[in-house]
Amino acid sequence: MPELPEVEVTRQGIAPFLVEQTVVDLVIRNGSLRWPVPDIAKQIIGQVIRQVRRRAKYLLIDTDAGTSIVHLGMSGSLRILPHDTPVEKHDHIDLVLANGRILRFNDPRRFGAWLWCELPEEAHPLLAKLGPEPLTHAFNVVQLAAALAGKKKAIKLCLMDNHIVVGVGNIYANEALFAAGIHPEAEAGKIDIERLTVLVAEVKQILAHAIKQGGTTLKDFTNADGKPGYFAQKLHVYGRGGETCTSCGNLLSEIRLGQRTTVFCGICQTR
């Protein structure tokens, strides 16, 4: 599933083609996604797109009438294309613009979503209880320490909990914990403030680097393949179970934690 950096680069890629453009049509070919796609043609046609934002892994396309909430799911992609581009299999939704382009949503597995919210998006059930964005000042060691206080759950599971901080998925949780020298099974509530300070800094640095790498790896959302995928970057632990640690040379361990593959170095990462 695309993680926060992949979704952010998607936002950066499509926003210049959408902002201040007028919507002239919304074509829904298959509304059976993760949740049924609402028929919002009357609400959105004629509206000007004011901005394209991201909250966690959701993309928010704002108009004066309301906000489209888009999630890529496990296999979704968004592309900017000429309006007469032939439709292919799994092209479920087209947002048609007055400038002759379309925003096309393709999703083979249909775990993605396209919803509508006329209230402030913070009130939407999918967004209302989300934690802070990791790349903002709202995610800091004081906030994290308070959220983890008394928790016996493994730190990696807490780091992937969207109520504590959003967007730190499996790949970047593995990488941040390795960089901070923290064992993924460490009891969250017992990690001292010094180590949490390092962890916050590593989360921010690793996510920011991934976004920067994506910005240089995938610049073109106007071609036939706008899928973000995962960016070409050096991963120290994720996907490297049984290989040697890039720091100490020890063999990396691989376990299942919260039904997700977790890789760590038993020497560099301590409880």
Bridge partners (DSSP) listed for residue 78: 105
Query: What region does 250 belong to: left with phi over 0, alpha with psi -120 to 50, or beta?
Result: beta
Helical axes 193-217 vs 4-18, angle rounded to 10°: 50
Rg (CA), the chain: 20
Q: Which of 46, 80, 38 is nearest to 63 (CA)?
A: 46
Alpha helices in the chain (DSSP H): 4-18, 41-44, 141-148, 155-159, 170-180, 193-217
CA distance between the termini of the chain: 28
Q: Which of 267, 244, 241, 269 is nearest to 255 (CA)?
A: 241
Residues tagged active-site: 2-3, 57, 260
